[in-house]
């Protein structure tokens, strides 16, 4: 009898012929985050992934795998051989682990994934119930139990009760690579997290206006990228100074178009980075109607720039819901730190709410667009933000 960790998979199990590829991605990520633990092994058994490690490491390993996309439940599990030699001992270990929670009732729930096993599920339920009733003070409640004792029969028998919720989604790397426009605000880290949860490997581009914006503002964004990296792994961040572009816009274009013209340049630079470094998509934290550049008109004008898909996972979300996600992934407290960003430089008093493509293209005709983009790209700084061990 040994204690290990069971990982239950969600929509990955619906992937048909591609299922093996998705599961192997998850196994690879489990091995990667657990490389610092001694004597650890990972294997599959009838649709679940199991981690065998030292019992004293189980809690710490669970903390690590909680952030791996594609896993819906993480479960400390007792494993025994199918000869049932340690069956009673394992059942009591599961039941007695619930004693400190003040539980009084239970229900057994057995499942034979391997139908070759000679004892049927109903008989296993009766066996578990008999063991618990004989050796503990618990009572059976088949309708509303305080806890369940699960029994999965596969190549081995697994017994467990506690289940910790995972992040779900699809494993990283199964839907290409995306470049996130990462600001210092609440929305963009959440957008990156949500698209990573759909299987996209996320890197980031951050626009600043140094020295008009401070080094501490840049450090704040790097900290956000580091927190995001707990879910996505190592992040490559492209740091781009937008100041000369903003000066040119301020000098040559209508004041009320500053925000939308700056946004179009951000999209141009993101598109150029995507071409040079092979990103399949661009990701933004835009939310419909939240600011002037995120009206329907503003989105139409900026959407005209890139020739690849732009993901806006927050577009129809309520701000309260976005904040809840930011709090749950650990970015919120950093996002609300009061440091300026490039959008606050040359901020118009009354930004244009209904820009048109024809209007902004007329304004851009007064600028050396290609030269400004080329200059910004030549000064691009690339920072590698590694996931902490």
Please report, in range form, the residues annotated as the binding site for ATP. 181-182, 206-207, 263, 285, 294
Contact 151, 111 (CB under 8 A): yes
CB 69 within 8 A of CB 196: yes
Cα–Cα distance measured from residue 322 to residue 15, given in angstroms and rounded to the nearest whole number: 29
CA distance 311 to 314: 9
| Contact indicator for 104, 31 with CB cutoff of 8 Å | no
Please state, as a whole number, how many other Cβ atoms lie within 10 Å of the Cβ of residue 374. Answer: 11
For 184, counting Cβ atoms within 10 Å of its Cβ (0-12 exposed, 13-18 middle, 19+ buried), the class is buried
Strand partners, 151: 110, 159
Torsion of CA 69, 71, 75, 78, to 10 degrees: -120
Residue 197 CA to residue 208 CA, distance in Å, equals: 27
* Contacts of residue 28, Cβ cutoff 8 Å, sequence gap at least 6: none
């Amino acid at each position: 009898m040994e204690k290990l960790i069971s990982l239950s998979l969600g929509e990955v199990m619906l992937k048909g012929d591609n299922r093996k590829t998705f599961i192997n991605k998850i196994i690879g990520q489990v091995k990667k985050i657990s490389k610092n633990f001694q004597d650890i092994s990972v294997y599959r058994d009838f649709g679940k992934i199991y981690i065998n490690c030292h019992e004293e490491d189980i809690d710490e390993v669970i903390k690590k795998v909680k952030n791996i996309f594609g896993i819906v439940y993480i479960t400390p599990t007792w494993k025994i051989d199918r000869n049932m030699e340690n069956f009673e001992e394992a059942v009591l270990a599961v039941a007695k682990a619930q004693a400190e929670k003040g539980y009084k009732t239970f229900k057994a729930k057995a499942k034979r994934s391997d139908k070759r096993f000679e004892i049927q599920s109903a008989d296993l339920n009766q066996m578990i119930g008999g063991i618990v009733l004989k050796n503990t003070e618990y009572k059976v409640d088949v309708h509303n139990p305080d806890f369940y004792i699960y029994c999965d029969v596969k190549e081995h028998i697994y017994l467990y009760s506690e289940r910790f919720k995972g992040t779900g989604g699809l494993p990283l790397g199964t839907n290409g690579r995306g470049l996130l426009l990462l600001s210092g605000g609440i929305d963009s880290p959440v957008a990156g997290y949500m698209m990573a949860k759909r299987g996209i490997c996320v890197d980031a581009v951050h626009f600043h206006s140094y020295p008009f914006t401070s080094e501490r503002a840049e450090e704040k964004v790097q900290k956000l990228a580091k927190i995001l990296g707990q879910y996505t792994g190592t992040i490559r961040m492209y740091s781009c100074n937008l100041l000369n572009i903003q000066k040119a816009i301020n000098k040559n274009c209508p004041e009320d178009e500053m925000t939308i013209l700056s946004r179009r340049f951000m999209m141009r630079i993101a598109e150029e980075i995507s071409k040079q470094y092979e990103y399949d998509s661009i990701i933004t934290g835009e939310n419909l109607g939240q600011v002037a550049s995120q009206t329907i008109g503003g989105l139409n004008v900026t959407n005209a720039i890139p020739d690849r898909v732009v993901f806006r996972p927050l577009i129809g979300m309520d701000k309260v819901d976005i904040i809840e996600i930011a709090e749950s992934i650990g970015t919120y407290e950093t996002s609300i730190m009061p440091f300026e960003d490039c959008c606050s430089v040359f901020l118009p008093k009354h930004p244009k709410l209904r820009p048109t493509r024809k209007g902004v293209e007329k304004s851009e005709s007064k600028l050396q667009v290609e030269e400004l983009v080329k200059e910004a790209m030549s000064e691009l700084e690339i920072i590698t933000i590694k996931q902490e061990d």
